Amino acid sequence: MPKTFRNGVIAVVTRPDGKILVGNRYGIKNAWQLPQGGIDQGEEPKQAVMRELLEEIGSNQFEVINHLKEPIRYTFPKSITSKISKKYCGQSMYWFILKTEEPESLDLKKATDKEFDKLSWFTPNEILTQVISWRLDFYKQGFKELGIPYDSTY
């Protein structure tokens, strides 16, 4: 049976100065990414993004500013041999931009999943320099479609 794309969500959480929340993957040095995760059966994308934020960063007290109506897909490189890549060929992600007025209140100790070992706030350009190379075009497309400005030379 051919592999399919895993349906998921990705959260672009912004604070008033325009910086975006990123998490460092637990136990991996300099493995920054946006919070993301799968959509459970029977769940709507907005429900999934709020659940994923609560699980991964310990809060879902955010306001959705905008979201993409259609998901953006990426394919896993053949070199990836994780559990998820054995089941799926890639991910089809619904992008959400959310805001928080109290970024200092985020506390990873409240997270139920140990996805991240630290959180930080990066500019879009900083994110593009830190994201794993095979996700770079995926992030650029998501930023572009959500209207998040970045330096196009990345």
- The per-residue pLDDT for range 51-105, each reduced to its tens digit, is 999 999 999 889 999 999 999 999 999 998 888 889 999 999 999 999 987 767 7
pLDDT for the residue 149: 93
Higher pLDDT, 137 or 110: 137
pTM for the model stands at: 0.92
Q: Copy the structure tokens of residue 31.
A: 């493995």
Q: For the chain, give every domain's residue range.
A: 4-146
Q: What CATH superfamily classification does 4-146 receive?
A: Nucleoside Triphosphate Pyrophosphohydrolase (3.90.79.10)
Count of other CB atoms within 10 angstroms of residue 110: 11
Q: Copy the structure tokens of residue 48.
A: 């999934």
Q: Tell whether the model's pLDDT for residue 154 goes beyond 70.
A: no
145 phi-psi bin (left φ>0, alpha ψ -120 to 50, beta other)? alpha
pLDDT for the residue 81: 84
Q: Which amino acid is at 7?
A: N
Q: How far is it, in rounded angstroms, from Cα 61 to Cα 13? A: 11
pLDDT for the residue 1: 66
